[in-house]
Structure 1
């Protein structure tokens, strides 16, 4: 049995995305400080363990991974989002998206698009990939997607940067952002800003984009593949 598509969690009759946070996953204190190292000063934790607290050299928000209580659909769990993006796991079920369709190594991406704008070549996103089967659930239940969506099969997804809180060195305070979620989008190539960023989401570039308007046909291929032994 093809195990790439996993059961989706439900709460009160509604599917809960794999990357959604739960009420039990409350943010602990973030003991931030200015640290000094190779390349100059930057943001760090007072009790930092670089093996846990950093990814690709960037400081990450501390957030427990302990699902329970009630889902917080409006909040993204930073660690599950990062793992889903790094390993191309489905944002809904958490299963691997590579290999869900025989002979097709591309990954499917789905974003909100109330105005009908398609996903562009080279676009940056913090929304992890998704199975077509799971995408059908998402467009049915997710309010932003119900207002309109765009989907595309993508050949290559190199990491681009992060979405996170950007801090000023003196005083050590978060800077305001023009984005509705208060997060800054910072590329890894921007050394001046990335060293002062507390990352919350990993972002990738979408390359080799082929627009998808028929999710049902893709979902049928995935369902058929799941019935094939081995």
Structure 2
């Protein structure tokens, strides 16, 4: 067994990691809304939109082959909106301090008052597991923080348009779009919510303790 396979076997099934069986067909189309074309689904439902953008549809079975390098769109968004741990899906807020635990892939600048991220928080109980077994974090020099609060500021998304034959085609892949960039949100298929962290404080890295 390779080192990579051993690492993946040791991992819990992270809450934000998708499964192959959760991938759904995306019947994309364009419609006219407020005098301009807007990306939609041919069978669109009101819950397909949030923050002015259309979102990737995902199943929620959590069964079958795990797609380790990827992120489940709806569970990532739920973690961000409800302050849930990316590993276990439970609260990432410290009950003693009210602050939220966060692991970043690398240290933030020392003078950073705010910081944008698509990485959901990690609860205190799963900090060591995330730091020692997550292949993404193991490749770098991760840092642990607590934050006082955070707020949505944008989405990570693919942009779409129509070709000369009227087919919906991707024009840009995985770009950051601010929630006030309405001209882009109308053509976006959102995959992850971007938030801005506030009141950031460095915390000891529990994985470094002997």
> Which residue of the partner structure matches residue 209 of structure 1?
200
2:43 to 40, 44, 47: 47
User: Contact 2:144 / 2:205 at 8 angstroms: preserved in 1?
Assistant: no
1:101 to 92, 95, 100: 95
1:60 is aligned to 2:55: yes
Instruction: Work out the CA distance in 1 between the residues paired with 2:35 and 2:89.
Output: 37
Deviations 1:189-218 (A, max 9, x none): 11111111101111100111112233369x
TM-score, length basis structure 1? 0.78
Instruction: Work out the CA distance in 2 between the residues paired with 1:81 and 1:39.
Output: 32
1:90 to 85, 93, 112: 85
Partner SS state of residue 164, structure 1:
strand
1:144 is aligned to 2:136: yes
Q: Give the gaps of 5 or more residues in structure 1.
A: 1-10, 177-181, 218-230
Q: Give the gaps of 5 or more residues in structure 2.
A: 1-7
User: Contact 1:118 / 1:211 at 8 angstroms: preserved in 2?
Assistant: no
Instruction: Work out the CA distance in 2 between the residues paired with 1:186 and 1:16.
Output: 29
User: Contact 1:88 / 1:97 at 8 angstroms: preserved in 2?
Assistant: yes
> Which residue of the partner structure matches residue 65 of structure 2?
70
> Which residue of the partner structure matches residue 120 of structure 2?
128
Deviations 1:48-99 (A, max 9, x none): 011x21122310101111111132211111111111111010001100122x
- Number of aligned residues: 197
